[in-house]
Amino acid sequence: MVESGGSGRPRPDSEESAERHATPAPPPAAPEETPAEAPDTAADKRHGPSEETTDESEPAEAGTAEETKPQDARPAGAPDPAGRTPDPADLHPDRPLAHSTPSLGETPTPAKGRRRPPRPPETRGGLLMGRPFGVPVYVAPSWFLVAALITWVFGGQLDRVLPGLGAARYLVALFFAVAFYASVLVHELAHTIAALRFKLPVRRIQLQFFGGVSEIEKEAETPGREFVLAFVGPLLSLVLAGLFYLAMQTVEPGTVPGVLLAGLMISNLIVAIFNLLPGLPLDGGRMLRAVVWKITGKPMTGTIAAAWVGRALAVSVLIGLPLLTQSGALGSEAEDSVGMDTVLDALLAAILAAIIWTGAGNSLRMARLREHLPELRARNLTRRAVPVETNTPLSEALRRANDAGARALVVVDAHGEPVSLVREAAIVGVPEHRRPWVAVSGLAQDLTEGMRVSAELAGEDLLDALRATPATEYLVVEETGEIYGVLSAADVERAFVKAMARPS
């Protein structure tokens, strides 16, 4: 099966918090410095965006600006380096999702409740096997469990069909398991080649429990392309089944090659038929989505229809598969399907049903995310900013910003060109009595090319731009190069959560 948009499935159901990002008041400062010492203090702290504005002798408390680093901020909805679209609640694990907007420099009250622990680092998806067509192919750890299960089950069948093999039957069965998943890889490569032909980026292919996944980062632009993109996978599985059938005609039946070819033919036929079932997240569900999209002209309508058919299919598998097995309709005698076999059939049906049901729900959430992405516009989310010179004391800069009703500071050079952005998290970490002695340059992050974004960016283009250069603040400019304001990653996050909270 193929997933458009990646396996990093968004979880947009998180509710927006009602409180501002809480940064507790800093601990008591060291003995007050004299004005003569202030320049040296400010100069000592101009080492980059992660430097602290409090003395080293002061103990750091949880939730202070010390913990907020630009590289940890990620715009809402933007896929992480592993490629998955994160839950907005996970974008900033050390602070609430949404916050009120006090005046610039005001220390907000602490947020209530426990702080969420940091997320563990993302894995790349398993063991890297290669990069066909430039797309990395990973084997998930769950594959080894399934391969062992296939080896055990198929080895037992070989003992009945070819009793003379002895213990070597498990080597033959292992070869079958590897060859079967090689067929699954061909199925996924068909999706990948079609996506690349349509100029849709493919993040990776992952072989995992019950098949594989092609993580395509963007939606097809037309229902016709969506249909083709989904259909090529089952088509290749049908072609492989036909090739294995033709190869069977060249070998003796009842031999190891004959049994292997027969098993591969049947398994590829099952993969093709299963994926053609008309319900998301299966390929047949995406084909159904494309058809409804073509008829109605609305991709969201197609997604809703295919997702609900997928959920109905999950219920049918949960109930119908054990009944079919018990009735003998799948090739075994009804009286033989009792005991442990009955339990295994029910377990298999439950796993398949859970995979289909969960995939259908994830497809709905992904479609909902894409529907609301255009509402994220850089121009609408940008904070008004005031320019300040490099050596301007923080207290004076804050006074100017508050007088102008601005909520951001842009450090400019002698010619008025922006050189850095003052970090809000660093501002609130400076005690008020020290602000007259701290220059804004000591709290600023130098501007890089990626931190300049156009005011016209919106939706996925905006998220792609922010993802390319992770930071807490970005300089928003007009097409003429004129400064428009400052965009905070936290504001994008909050707008994303609000948009996702609204019904489709």
Catalytic residues: 188
Helices (H), 70-222: 88-91, 141-161, 169-197
**3-class DSSP state of 329:** coil
Q: For 393, which DSSP code?
A: B
CB-based contact 337:328 (threshold 8 Å): yes
Query: Which tokens in the block code for residue 270?
Result: 């099952």
Q: Tokens 């997240």 — which residue? A: 281
Q: What is the helix (H) or strand (E) element at residue 110, kind and residue range?
A: none
CB-based burial label for 25 (10 Å; 0-12, 13-18, 19+) = middle
Q: Which of 298, 406, 308 is nearest to 363 (CA)?
A: 308
The angle formed by the CA atoms of residues 302, 304 and 310, to the nearest 5 degrees, is 100
CB-based contact 313:356 (threshold 8 Å): yes
- Residue 171 pairs with which residues in a beta bridge? none
Q: Before 418, cis peptide (omega within 30)?
A: no
Query: Which tokens in the block code for residue 85?
Result: 């679209």
Distances (CA, A) of 99 to 63, 90, 96, 103: 14, 15, 7, 12
CB-based contact 274:217 (threshold 8 Å): no
Phi-psi region of 41 (alpha: psi -120 to 50; beta: other; left: phi over 0): alpha
Q: Which of 464, 362, 459 is nearest to 9 (CA)?
A: 362
Q: Tokens 């996506």 — which residue? A: 195
C-alpha to C-alpha distance for 107 and 114, rounded to whole angstroms: 19
- Residue 458 pairs with which residues in a beta bridge? 377
C-alpha to C-alpha distance for 137 and 129, rounded to whole angstroms: 6
CB-based burial label for 190 (10 Å; 0-12, 13-18, 19+) = buried
